[in-house]
Structure 1
Amino acid sequence: MTTADRDRTALAGARLVLPGGVVEGDRLAVEGERIAGLGGDSEPGDLDLTGYTVVPGFVDLHVHGGGGASYASGIAEEALLAARTHLEHGTTTTVASTVTGEIDEVARQAHVLSELVEDGVLAGIHFEGPFISHNRCGAHRPDLLRDPDPALVRKLVDAARGHARMVTLAPELPGGLDSVRMLADLGVIAAVGHTDSDYATTLEAIEAGATVATHLFNAMPGIAHRAPGPIVALLEDERVTVELINDGVHLHPSVLDLAYGTAGANRVALITDAMGAAGMGDGLYPLGPLQVEVKDGVARLVEGGAIAGSTLTLDVAFKRSVTVNGLSLNQAVESLSATPARLLGLGDSIGSLETGKLADLVVVDSEGYDLVAVMRRGRWIVGGERFSTVKPA
């Protein structure tokens, strides 16, 4: 067998979730890192995926860690472990999120993470904090919060060495709107989150260039009939992509349904907001400078009891979306792959099963939608050995 032969793989008999719809029992060919073709009859030696469903690899815009490791540790080995943990659960593209800390320390973390972006492990860096509201700080240390002075925001962006993808901030704080404008000019996503903003100020932020709602509904004022607040402003504007955490803890299923009914799958990005306990068991874990206790899979601060991220992985979010929320396979794929890929400017290479795109694939069983296998850039990460080959006719 030649090297070229080893770099060719074909999956036959699978249900494929394609941009135009779901195709039953079709064939997908991979050569090297990319999808080489779709359709056609199976051939001897193809992998038989009858009874399985193939979807594009998941894209997580907002994740703090996993596998007992944190991106905010500033340790490359921990970041690699976190990325690998989520990769094994189907996240083939990861934007690593930091948490509130001293500016110089977060800048140091960004320097470490930027090297992993350059190595192809990560797709970028998301700064969540310290430019957020004291009133909506959640699992961020209040004494380390800062107003979003454009000079401080720029310091973190520069520390990422061109790999800053997103900054979450509260636009009502001094410097907030100016920082949104600066981020938009730099090509960095400005996200509204951990905010006490009202409806009018949120609209100003959107006009200034904000295009993402950080975990919509969580860490922001709720909807009141005479004070719609940031949620309504973010949901109603077609320029805004809204993050949602579908773990059954952060959002009631009916609230998630409301968001989909208003924004549509092409404006929803399902995220994990996972901390180090993702892929692990209950226990104590660090989240930046804070301690978190995970009990029955729910992460809360040891002091105060606030929800502290999640233990979610995107394969679970995919399954919940289809089996609990009743989304179609195409809607679920839109929110887990295509929408975040487009937001990152990577839609030409990832986010859907199309010829020429990177062979980032997730295989689930076609009944319970449990994860079976993951391929990244044409290489099986987990599960590939379980498939038998198609025998000659």
Structure 2
Amino acid sequence: MQSYIIKGAKIYAKNGFDHKDIVIKNNVISAIDEDIKASEYNLPVIELSFDDYVIPGFIDIHIHGSMGADVMDADVDALHTISKSLYKQGVTSYLATTMTALNDHILRAMNAIKSYNLHQHIESSKIVGVHLEGPFISPGKIGAQNPNYLQHADVVKMASWHNACNNLVKKITIAPEIENAKQVIDFCNNHNIVSSIGHTSCTMAQALEAVDHGCSHATHLFNAMSPIDHRNPGATTALLMSKKVLAELIVDGIHLHPDMVKFTYEIKGSDNIALITDAMSAQCAGEGVFDLGGQKVIVKDGQARLENGVLAGSVLTMNKALENFIKFTNCSLHDAVKMTSTNQAKSLGFKKGEIKVGYDAGFVVLDKYYQIKLVFN
């Protein structure tokens, strides 16, 4: 359904929630007002409860897979599986996130994304871009990336990946201390691609220099980066302090202790945090053995780990991330929605993440307990 009217619920607004109606035409918000007369538009009407909340659809800017499928499967059917699964979780848009891999493998993944986006997909989350997580990262903070496939920062390769997916690369995770990192960041600055500091052993000074050079995101803050140290403050300290940096957080209660989530919220505020899942193919697929970047991952008790015990992404969903963040910090629903949708869209230049005239119409309807009732995309 591309044109319709939503009535009766509280809708996400700039400073809170307003009881207003929304008119959607051709998947774009065309009007927002109190008590819109449906007879004036001749469109289907969705009547919601007075206690329902209409919020922007979640935007996951760091997601590898779901339901047994992975972006690095480099397969259109796998992307279809991921997109269908994410839609059910309230994710209306996402950045298909790659792994450190051989150049040809990354190119195949880019080509699959390009092919997938040639067609419209019903009741599916939209791939609005690509997040390259690696291969330009530090061997000292490899995390669950495959060390056999690390590559030197290379503008030519970066350009080839961007071209292969029809210029859909929107974000790259990069360690600023590696050779030629600045040249890649320059390329990103010139092509409206976000450079995100992550998987890095850099010092605080190097991180701040990279921010001044154009890096504006932090990839899963705290995880896989030089930590806070009272004598040797690392990348984490710099990225936590900087108001220029949007910090990804994996709020599953495993990657970060709940008190560290609250600590980060109190320092950075709701405008400088982006909730992500960093989910791998085991998301919504149950326990068992899975693959991540050519490495065996064991999923048990809600945790995904390599055989050596290293965390290997998560099985978190965005709706659970929202619920956890509110629980851990006691923040408002309005603040939480900023961090699941609005901040992501603003930082990437999308007309999404807010309920405003002229913006794309991707919505999630939550009940009074913040559980998903409906998804519109």
Task: Please give the TM-score of this superposition, normalised by the length of structure 2.
Answer: 0.92
**Alignment match, 1:369:** 370
Contact 1:37–1:355 at 8 Å: present in 2 too?
yes
Task: Name the SS for the 2:5 alignment partner.
Answer: strand
Does the Cα contact within 8 Å between 1:66 and 1:274 map onto a contact in 2?
A: yes
Cα offset for 1:46? 4.8
For residue 324 of structure 1, give the secondary structure of its aligned residue in structure 2: helix
Query: Is 2:157 the partner of 1:152?
Result: yes
CA RMSD for the aligned pairs? 1.8
Query: Which residue identity lines up with residue 116 of structure 1 in the other structure?
Result: Y
Aligned to 1:169: 174
Residues 88-126 of structure 1: per-residue CA shift (max 9 Å, x gap): 111111110001111111112112112334546310111
| 1:1-393 to 2 correspondences below 5 Å | 8-23=3-18, 25-41=19-35, 46-119=46-119, 121-301=126-306, 303-346=307-350, 349-366=351-368, 368-376=369-377
- 2-structure distance, mates of 1:51, 1:207: 45
Q: 1:122 aligns to what SS in structure 2?
A: strand
Mapped partners of 1:7, 1:69: distance in 2: 28
Instruction: For residues 139-172 of structure 1, give each alpha carbon's deviation from its aligned partner in whole angstroms, at most 9, with x where no partner exists.
Output: 1111111221333333333333311111111111
CA contact (8 A) 1:117 1:163 kept: no
Unpaired segments ≥5 residues, structure 2: 39-44, 121-125
- Measured in 2, the distance between the counterparts of 1:207 and 1:7 equals 42
- Equivalenced residue count is 366
Secondary structure of 2:101's match?
A: coil
Q: What secondary structure, in the 3-state scheme, does the structure 1 residue paired with 2:253 have?
A: coil
TM-superposed CA distance for 1:43, in Å, is 6.2
Indicate the residue corresponding to 1:379 in structure 2: none
Amino acid at match of 2:50: T
Displacement, 1:199? Answer: 0.6
- CA offsets, 1:64-93, max 9 Å, x none? 011111011001100111111111111111
Residues 37-59 of structure 1 show CA distances to partners (whole Å, capped at 9, x for unaligned) of 32323768651323321111111
Q: Please say if residues 17 and 329 of structure 1, whose CA atoms lie closer than 8 Å, have aligned partners that are also in contact.
A: no
CA–CA separation in structure 1 for the residues paired with 2:356 and 2:192? 27
Q: 2:196 touches 2:218 (CA, 8 Å); kept in 1? A: yes
Indicate conservation of the 8 Å contact 1:114/1:124, yes or no.
no
Counterpart residue identity of residue 11, structure 1: I
Q: Deviations over 1:327-375 (max 9, x none)?
A: 11221111111110011111xx211112232221101111x21111110
Counterpart contact for 1:282–1:295, Cα < 8 Å: yes
Unaligned runs of 5+ in 1: 1-5, 377-393
Q: 1:49 to 1:170 in 2, by over 3 A?
A: same
Q: Tell me the amino acid that sits aligned with residue 68 of structure 1.
A: G
Query: What displacement does 1:245 show?
Result: 0.9
Structure 1 range deviating more: 103-112 or 177-186: 177-186
Distance (whole Å) between structure 2 residues aligned to residue 156 and residue 200 of structure 1: 30
**1:287 CA displacement:** 1.2
Amino acid at match of 1:107: L
Measure the CA separation in 2 of the matches of 1:269 and 1:330: 14
**1:21/1:205 CA distance change after superposition, 3 Å:** same
TM-score normalised by length of structure 1 = 0.88
Contact 1:299 1:311 in 2 (8 A): yes
Structure-2 change in CA distance of 1:181 and 1:43 (3 Å): closer
**Deviation (angstroms), 1:258:** 1.9
* One-letter amino acid matched to 1:370: Q
Please state how far the C-alpha of 1:314 moved relative to its aligned partner.
0.7
